[in-house]
Amino acid sequence: MNQKHVFQPMPIYEMDFNPFRQFKEDTCAIVTEVNGKANAMTASWGAMGEMWGKDVITIYVRESRFTRELLDQSETFSINFFDMDKVENKMALQIFGSESGRDKDKIAELKFNVNHSLNTPFLDESNLVFLCSKLSRTEIKKEDFFHPRIDSKFYENGDYHIMYIAEIMRVGAR
Ligand SMILES: Cc1cc2nc3c(=O)[nH]c(=O)nc-3n(C[C@H](O)[C@H](O)[C@H](O)COP(=O)(O)O)c2cc1C
């Protein structure tokens, strides 16, 4: 299958979009690409808003993820949301969130298709895509927490999140 859906540009201030529900309940796929090889990783931690006079998305990716390696080598990435009533999308997000692109080409295995816009990879099967350009990278550290229980609950193994803030270059919907 090699479908090419048409994504319409979506003006960001006209969007009927709840980031809390989208990230937490639906989750998204972060899509990165280096040397023509794309990878997708499920993420449910994210934020959207204003920073440095720009519309931004913030994602939190643990140091150990293959996606973290690819993010560090890329200028851009995409955040992909899906119609979660479709069983194939649910299944894909399970695979993207449990297997590593270090071991296999998850996208090809699922017969999903990579599309590009603004030199940025995204998944053709998505129905809402944010094309993002990195602005900053911040490593979350043990000493950053006011509540030690956050550190002990989430980082017992020392695999801390790295926070990437990125400018939203374009939103596409279909
Ligand atoms: C529902 C769900 C949400 C997830 N959210 C995140 C996240 O926000 N940040 C993160 O680093 N890993 C998150 N993960 C874990 C990664 O998706 C998982 O480790 C994945 O296999 C990494 O793939 P990669 O090695 O190809 O990058 C999540 C997994 C699931 C199932």
In a domain, 3, yes or no: no
> What confidence score (pLDDT) does residue 4 get?
81
Domain carrying residue 163: 8-173
Q: Is the model's pLDDT at 1 over the cut of 70?
A: no
Q: Is the dihedral of CA 128, 133, 136, 142 positive or negative?
A: positive
Tell me if 163 is assigned to some domain: yes
Q: What is the pLDDT of residue 104?
A: 98
Is residue 137 within a helix (H) or strand (E), and if so which, with residue range?
A: strand 128-139
Could you tell me if the CB of 2 is within 6 A of ligand 1? no
Closest listed residue to residue 165, CA positions, set 60, 40, 22: 60
In a domain, 41, yes or no: yes
The answer as to whether 90 is a domain residue is yes
Judge whether 2 lies within some domain: no
Share in percent of the chain as helix, strand, coil (round to 5) = 25, 40, 35
Asked if residue 135 belongs to a domain, the reply is yes
Please report, rounded to a whole number, the percentage of residues in the chain having pLDDT higher than 90: 97
pLDDT in tens, 82-101: 999 999 999 999 999 999 99
48 forms beta bridges with 57
Nearest CA to ligand 1 atom 16: 97
Q: Give the pLDDT band of residue 159 (cuts 50, 70, 90).
A: very high
Domain count, the chain: 1
Nearest CA to ligand 1 atom 11: 61
The enclosing domain of 69 has a CATH number of 2.30.110.10
Query: Is residue 63 one of the residues assigned to a domain?
Result: yes
The residue whose CB lies within 8 Å of the most ligand 1 atoms, and thus the one to mutate among 26, 32, 44, is 44
Q: What is the percentage of the chain residues whose pLDDT exceeds 70?
A: 98
In a domain, 1, yes or no: no
Ligand 1 binding pocket includes 39 (Cβ within 6 Å): yes
Q: Report whether residue 67 contacts ligand 1, using a CB cutoff of 6 Å.
A: yes
Work out the pLDDT band at 2, boundaries 50, 70, 90. low
129 ligand 1 Cβ < 6 A: no
